[in-house]
A and B are shown apart, each in its own frame.
Chain A
Amino acid sequence: MKTIEIRENTRIDLSTLESEVSFSIFGKVPYLYLFNIKEDNRLTFDVADGVELHLSFFSQKTIKNGKITANLGKNSQIISYFADFSEENNRLDVAINLNDEGATCEWHLASLSSNKDNKDISVSIYHNHPRTFGRIDNYGVCKDEGHLVFAGTSHILKGCHQSKSHQNAKIVVFDDACVAKAKPVLKIDENDIEASHAATVGKVSDEHIFYLTSRGLNIEEAKMLITLGYLKPILKGFDDTVRGDIDALIERRLSHVQA
């Protein structure tokens, strides 16, 4: 397995590498941008003590069986943004191991499931040490005959006191043929901790539509704006050079949203 050392801002086209890659992260606040994720990519990130990694993914192609594992050391941090606009069948498993004091992970994902896409995305955080912090925010839009499942578990092991784990999954559903599920799980074996989860799956709220249309937007414009609101916040995780491309892709892929 190939190991790549990352010490500064780096952009990597994953299609140019073998499927199984390990990244060792050193240096000061590096921004690692990965694109062209392959269908069977198995990526491992080892984040050294005290390193704050800004990790962004952009996927447009099929991920059949993707796996992302991250191992965090003392006081290290990952802030991750995953823009998932891949197509067809997808299975992605993410496991974040918070292995030492102060290890922190903030995970953001935006996913679009349209046409006959079938997506199963699981993000789990393992609190293996006291005072570790995890947050998962998964946002999805499901339309046409798309399937979209957000799963994931927050594990807080015994003795890992004063850890905090929060999960948030939200999917907006457009069509009757869509299947959308959010399955957040908390597995907690310690009392002195903070944990929560929230899951919302449903159609665009009538009250939101009324509010926006009462200001003159027609119903399609209102729905579009609300739907973009699920996907666009992911843009802040990308630098200017790619933000425009992802933004344009979101607008293009959603241009057929029906009332």
Chain B
Amino acid sequence: MATLRIKNLHVEVEGKEILKGVDVTISEGETVALLGPNGHGKSTLFNAIMGHPRYKITEGSIFLDDVDLTNLTTDARARAGLFLALQNPAEVPGVINSDFLRAAVNATSDEHLSTYKFYKMLDNATKELKMPFDLATRSLNEGFSGGEKKRNEILQLMLLNPKIAMLDEIDSGLDVDAIQTVSEVIKKQEEKGMGFFVISHYARLFDLIKPTRAVVMINGRIVLDGDASLIKRIDQTGYEFIKTELGIEIEKEEANMNDVSIGSCAVRETIKK
């Protein structure tokens, strides 16, 4: 069983330390909710685990089983079995979605898929996601609605079949039916043994995917690691109890902190009037 181990992780973005010693462990087959107020480092943690060049690891380590990922490139981490569903997936004009998916599948698996096998796989996955097949033949995310982009992230997850998947607000932009569909896919993958690390601000997603654990990130550290009841408690009462029970002062979100914690803002060019 694969396990992702983050030890004492310190991460800087443009010279400012955002993560100040994160310790957390995720195993295959479990779903862990990552909770915490905005601007405290949740997305930073995901981006740093995936190896985004803007997020500099200054101390600590990331291990997937006995493989040290800390200094590996992003693509090597992906091939080792990590996946990040982005909060704002980029639009990449001219790159055909299915070409990209096929290149990604071939890069992450040992066997080279035949065209027929790949399209069969793609067809099945799009059906399961209730996604029009047409989206697979268009430019990657270009002109996709918010919901279509999120489904496309889950489509990639299904095709790449990682060991551990991080989902950064996968439910934002999805309507109720789509959240249901995506949750079913996540549950199914979890049963097959995939591990999930999930950021969401809404209890609805967690109600559907039923995390096995929840961790809370405050001030760039994991301050609580407990069972799923934490989700309900925070949904109902907020983060105040952290201060009263643990004596941790919650740092106020600084204006610029928001900028640096959101990893990937899609570049959008408005051409049409």
Q: A206-B53, A207-B266, A216-B160 are in contact. Are A196 and B272 (CB under 8 A)?
A: yes
Decide yes or no whether A215 CB sits under 8 A from chain B: yes
- B50, B90, B92, B272: the one contacting A229 at CB < 8 Å is B92
Chain A residue nearest to B84 (CB atoms) is A214
Using an 8 Å CB-CB cutoff, how does the interface string of A166-202 with B read, 1 for contact, 0 for none?
Answer: 1010000000000000000000000000101010100
Q: Least Cβ distance of B144 to chain A in Å? A: 13
B75 and A216 form a contact (CB under 8 A): yes
Interface-lining segment among A2-10, A93-101, A150-158, A220-228 = A220-228
Q: Which of A168, A200, A210 is B74 in contact with, Cβ under 8 Å?
A: A210
B79 engages A216 (CB within 8 Å)? yes
CB–CB A217/B272 < 8 A: no
Residues on A with beta carbons closer than 8 Å to the beta carbon of B83: 214-215
A79 in the interface, Cβ–Cβ < 8 Å?
no
Within 8 Å of chain A (Cβ to Cβ): is B230? no
Residue A116 interfacial (CB < 8 Å): no
CB of B115, distance to nearest CB on chain A (Å)? 16
Partner of A225, one of B75, B99, B108, B267: B99
Which of chain B's residues have a CB closer than 8 A to the CB of A229?
92-96, 139
The distance from the CB of A165 to the nearest CB of chain B, in whole angstroms, is: 11
Interface residues on chain A, number (Cβ under 8 Å) = 31
- Write the nearest CB–CB distance from B94 to chain A, whole angstroms: 3
Q: Smallest CB-CB separation from B272: which chain A residue?
A: A196
A213 within 8 A of B: yes
Assess the A210–B99 pair: CB atoms within 8 A: no
Identify which of B75, B103, B108, B156 contacts A219 (C-beta below 8 A): B75
In residues 91-147 of chain A, which contact B (Cβ within 8 Å)? Answer: 139
In the assembled complex, the CB of A95 is this many whole angstroms from the nearest CB of chain B, namely 23
Shortest CB distance B64–A (Å):
14
Which parts of B100-116 form the interface with A (CB within 8 Å)?
100, 103-104, 107-108
Partner of B94, one of A166, A198, A233: A233
Q: How far is the CB of A246 from chain B (nearest CB, A)?
A: 15
Distance in angstroms between the alpha carbons of A231 and B83 in the assembled complex: 29
Q: How far is the CA of A157 from the CA of B74 in the complex (A)?
A: 53
Instruction: Give per-residue flags for B36-72: 1 if the beta carbon is below 8 A from chain A beta carbons, else 0.
Output: 0000000000000011111000000000000000000
Verify B264–A210 contact, CB threshold 8 A. yes
Interface size on B, as a range, is 35 or more
Q: Are B94 and A232 in contact (CB under 8 A)?
A: yes
Q: Which of A196, A216, A228: most chain B Cβ within 10 A?
A: A216
Q: In the docked arrangement, what's the CA distance between A31 and B140, Å? A: 30
A218 touches B90 (CB 8 A): no
**By the criterion CB–CB under 8 Å, are B78 and A211 in contact?**
no
A139–B107 Cα distance when bound, in Å, is 28
Complex-state Cα separation, A139 to B93, whole angstroms? 11
A214: chain B residues at CB < 8 Å are 50-51, 74-75, 77-78, 83-84, 86
CA–CA, A210 and B78, complex, Å? 11
B257-271 with Cβ < 8 A to chain A: 264-267, 269-271
Identify which of B108, B265, B266, B267 contacts A216 (C-beta below 8 A): B108
Query: Is A23 part of the binding interface, using a Cβ–Cβ cutoff of 8 Å?
Result: no
B89 interface residue (CB < 8 Å to A) = yes
The answer to whether A230 and B94 touch (CB under 8 A), given A168-B271, A207-B267, A215-B100, is yes
Residues in chain A near residue B120, CB distance under 8 A? none
Which residues in window 201-258 of A have CB below 8 A to B?
Answer: 205-208, 210-219, 221-222, 225-226, 228-233
Query: 26 pairs across A/B with beta carbons < 8 Å?
Result: A208-B92, A212-B100, A213-B73, A213-B78, A214-B51, A214-B74, A214-B75, A214-B83, A215-B78, A215-B100, A215-B104, A215-B108, A216-B104, A216-B107, A216-B108, A217-B75, A217-B107, A219-B73, A219-B75, A221-B103, A221-B107, A225-B99, A225-B103, A226-B95, A229-B92, A232-B96
The residues of A with any CB-CB pair to B shorter than 8 Å are: 139, 166, 168, 194, 196, 198, 200, 205-208, 210-219, 221-222, 225-226, 228-233
Known A-B contacts: A198-B269, A205-B90, A215-B156. Give 18 more (CB < 8 A): A194-B273, A207-B264, A207-B266, A211-B86, A212-B95, A214-B74, A214-B78, A215-B100, A216-B78, A216-B79, A217-B103, A217-B107, A218-B73, A225-B103, A226-B92, A228-B95, A231-B94, A232-B96
